[in-house]
Amino acid sequence: MPQHATAATGLRAPSVAARATGLTKVYGEGETRVIALDTVTVEFGRGRFTAIMGPSGSGKSTLMHCMAGLDAISGGSARIGDTELSGLKDRQLTRLRREKIGFVFQSFNLLPTLDALENITLPLDIAGRKPDQEWLELIVGTVGLAGRLRHRPSQLSGGQQQRVAVARALAGRPEIVFADEPTGNLDSRSGAEVLGFLRDSVRELGQTVVMVTHDPVAASYADRVVFLADGRVTDELSDPTPETVLDRMRLFDAQGRTS
């Protein structure tokens, strides 16, 4: 475990990869005004796998987008490491996204004319960065696509394509990876391949992952679950199992009906 390793070597105490403090996001104005995030305060520990759950419209995607610098925040603070996103100019934000953040979408967003390996290294190529060969080999070894790296997306299953997308997000060795319902378009077996890879990227490669999901089984791959409702953090759970996540979801439903 990376946290133990760093503690043992005394190099760096377990720390926070990203943090929202009183984060507020408002869309529209007047009658169309929507408070998508309402003073959200949450930390994402370095070397940890966090799941975000909550009903549709509760602000999960907005939280991912604001933390990843894809969407401007309306109030409060969003930090990646020590960097405050709201203080950055467009060009600085683009650079931060390239260097420190990986993003995985529900739709795989691979380029059809490139093979798997070319897709994985594309963001580095665009940024003019040379891939760290050793790191790349680690990712490719962990992703379990040996023998498929020269295949194009159309020659891969959905689960394989999404694993390529996760490998692409990891290729630049980002500070943090945000994944918004990465298994939403996959059957349960393909989903398990992707979740296993995400978990291994945290446990074996020391990466930090934040993942939105609706699925208690998917959430159980994480170290921790943060629950959102109506743009607010309502609860969290450590070392989740499908059962403990389901129990917690039922509790919210019951509270929702009585309040």
Residue 183 in contact with ligand ADP, rule: CB under 6 A: no
Can residue 207 be called a binding residue for ligand ADP (CB under 6 A)? Answer: no
Our CB check for Mg ion shows the closer of 61 and 119 to be 61
Contact between 34 and ligand ADP by CB under 6 A: the answer reads: yes
Residues 31-41: b if buried by 16+ CB within 10 A, e if exposed: eeeebbbbebe
Residue type present at position 101: I
Please report whether residue 256 would count as binding ligand ADP according to CB under 6 A: no
61 binds ligand ADP (CB under 6 A): yes
Span near Mg ion by CB under 5 A; candidates 10-18, 41-49, 57-65, 85-93: 57-65
Phi and psi at residue 24, to the nearest 5°: -125, 140
Amino acid at 225: V
226: contact with ligand ADP by CB under 6 A? no
Residues present in the chain in total = 259
Q: Which is nearer to ligand ADP, 86 or 106 (CB)?
A: 106
Tell me the closest approach of the beta carbon of residue 60 to ligand ADP, in angstroms.
Answer: 3
Which residues within the stretch 58-87 sit at the binding site for Mg ion (CB under 5 A)?
60-61
Residue 101: how many other CB atoms lie within 10 Å:
22
Segment contacting ligand ADP by CB under 6 A, of 55-63, 124-132, 198-206, 247-255? 55-63
What is the CB-side half-sphere exposure of residue 38 using CA atoms within 13 A?
A: 12
Closer CB to ligand ADP, 73 or 143, in the complex: 73
22 vs 57 by CB, closer to ligand ADP: 57
105/173 with CB nearer ligand ADP: 105
60/224 with CB nearer Mg ion = 60
Give me the residues that bind ligand ADP (CB under 6 A), please. Answer: 27-28, 34, 36, 54, 56-62
Give me the residues that bind Mg ion (CB under 5 A), please. Answer: 60-61
